[in-house]
């Protein structure tokens, strides 16, 4: 059919089709393609919003060279779940509380979403969220990692994250004395 049409007309059709598409295709560093709703991508990621607005979205897969396929899959998964989980009332109340609350506690589905991730996947996802300017996902993932430190002794924190103890006894004692900075220091 396109053969019969003039070149300009075909070009126009393609442009219209692009603008009408509901999804954007993202390409991970290892070349895998993922599709995500344009609306959710633009709403949840400042970087993707900028790219969509600026027309720098590639129909054949926008290259995200910094993000591996597992992390990108999680990002896309998050966007879908986020889009599906927000009924109108929750959306309105969340946009109000966002103005004042420093961090809104993760919702049940967000908690489940990060809880199933391995450490590896979580660290990758933090970086991906940061790279894509996904404020809420960054908050939720950072919060999850911070919860792994909550209520633990330094030894336990080292164990959780497999950190070698690089401190000497004297250094640790010194920090105990410096405890005050966390409260009073400028």
- 26 φ, ψ to 5°? -115, 145
Q: Output the six-digit token pair for 137.
A: 């996902």
Using the rule CB under 8 A, is 97 a contact of another protein?
no
Calculate ∠ Cα 99-43-57, nearest 5°.
Answer: 145
Distance (Å, whole) CA 62 – CA 85: 26
> Three-class SS of residue 143?
helix
Number of residues that bind another protein (CB under 8 A): 86
Q: 102, 108, 169, 170: which one contacts another protein (CB under 8 A)?
A: 102
Among the listed residues 43, 61, 107, 111, the single contact to another protein using CB under 8 A:
43
Of 10, 29, 42, 61, which one interacts with another protein (CB under 8 A)?
A: 42
Nearer to another protein, 17 or 157 (CB): 157
Give the side-chain half-sphere CA count within 13 A for 172: 8
Q: Could you give the angle at the alpha carbon of 132 between the alpha carbons of 20 and 66, nearest 5°?
A: 110
Give 4 or 153: the residue with its C-beta nearer to another protein.
Answer: 153
- Encoding tokens for residue 27? 């390409």
Range 103-122, binding another protein (CB under 8 A): 103, 116-121
- If the CB atoms of residues 113 and 138 are measured against another protein, the closer one turns out to be 138
Q: What kind and span of H or E run contains 122? A: helix 119-131
Q: What is the DSSP string of 158-179?
A: HHHHT------HHHHHHHHHHT
Interface of this chain with another protein, residues 56 to 95, rule: CB under 8 A: 56, 69-70, 73, 76, 80, 83-84, 86-88, 91, 95
> Site residues for another protein, window 18-37 (CB under 8 A)?
22-23, 32-37
Least distance between another protein and beta carbon 113 (Å): 13
Residues of this chain, 119-158, that bind another protein according to CB under 8 A:
119-121, 123-124, 126-127, 130-131, 133, 135, 138-139, 142-143, 145-147, 149-155, 157-158
Q: What CA–CA distance (Å, rounded) separates 175 from 129?
A: 33
Residues 2-21 that bind another protein (CB under 8 A): none
């Amino acid at each position: 059919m396109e053969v019969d049409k003039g070149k300009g007309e075909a070009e126009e059709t393609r442009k219209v089709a692009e603008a009408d598409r509901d999804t954007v295709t993202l390409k991970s560093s290892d070349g895998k393609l993922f599709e995500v709703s344009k609306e959710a991508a633009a709403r949840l990621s400042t970087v993707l919003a900028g790219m969509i607005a600026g027309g720098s979205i590639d129909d054949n897969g926008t290259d995200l060279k910094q993000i591996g396929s597992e992390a990108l899959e999680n990002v896309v998964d998050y966007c879908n779940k986020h889009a599906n989980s927000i009924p109108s009332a929750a959306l309105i109340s969340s946009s109000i509380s966002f103005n004042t609350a420093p961090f809104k506690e993760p919702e049940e589905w967000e908690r489940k979403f990060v809880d199933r991730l391995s450490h590896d996947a979580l660290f990758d996802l933090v970086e991906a969220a940061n790279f894509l300017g996904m404020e809420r996902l960054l908050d939720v993932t950072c919060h999850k990692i911070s919860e792994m430190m909550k209520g633990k002794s330094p030894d336990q924190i080292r164990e959780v994250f497999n950190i070698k103890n690089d401190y000497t006894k004297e250094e640790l004692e010194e920090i105990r004395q410096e405890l005050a900075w966390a409260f009073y220091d400028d």
